[in-house]
């Protein structure tokens, strides 16, 4: 990828990975807020309607988009890592920290989706 033999290339890739992580977290938070706002409006209406409104599905779409964005960023970062020479990665530097952080967010995002769908279908999760 680079003939610079400069560790700044690796750090730039890691910053990009974390920027995508922040973008994904923002999308996920926005989706959750949309979903909860729809629930709030549903409670205010006090109708006998049991189903969820469009805001639920739009919120789920935003959360799903966040998971895709974060997953793609992991794949992209791993591709960049494979192109770097050993001299471009600082000695004894943990290269998997950013990947582990993003994987944790993806797992928690799937847990959030499971929670929201369990509420939709009236299931009790521990």
pLDDT digit string, tens, across residues 44-69:
777 655 556 788 899 999 999 999 99
2 located within any domain: no
97 located within any domain: yes
d(CA 108, CA 67): 10
Residue 27 is part of which domain span? 8-120
pLDDT tens figures, 66-122: 999 999 999 999 999 999 888 888 888 888 999 999 999 999 999 999 998 887 777
User: In the chain, how many domains are there?
Assistant: 1
17 located within any domain: yes
Dihedral of CA atoms 75, 80, 84, 90 in degrees, nearest 10, equals -80
44 located within any domain: yes
81 located within any domain: yes
106 located within any domain: yes
pLDDT tens figures, 14-42: 999 999 999 999 999 999 999 888 777 77
Helical segments of the chain, H only? 8-45, 54-83, 97-120
Residues belonging to the chain: 126
């Amino acid at each position: 990828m680079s003939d610079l033999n400069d560790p700044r290339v690796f750090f730039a890739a890691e910053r990009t990975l974390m920027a995508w992580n922040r973008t994904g977290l923002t999308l996920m938070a926005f989706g959750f807020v949309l979903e909860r706002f729809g629930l709030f409006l549903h409670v205010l209406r006090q109708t006998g309607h049991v189903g969820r409104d469009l805001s639920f599905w739009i919120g789920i779409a935003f959360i799903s988009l966040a998971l895709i964005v974060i997953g793609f960023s992991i794949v992209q970062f791993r591709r960049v890592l494979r192109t770097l020479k050993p001299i471009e990665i600082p000695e004894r530097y943990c290269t998997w920290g950013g990947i582990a952080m993003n994987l944790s967010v993806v797992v928690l995002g799937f847990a959030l989706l499971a929670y929201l769908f369990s509420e939709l279908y009236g299931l009790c999760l521990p």
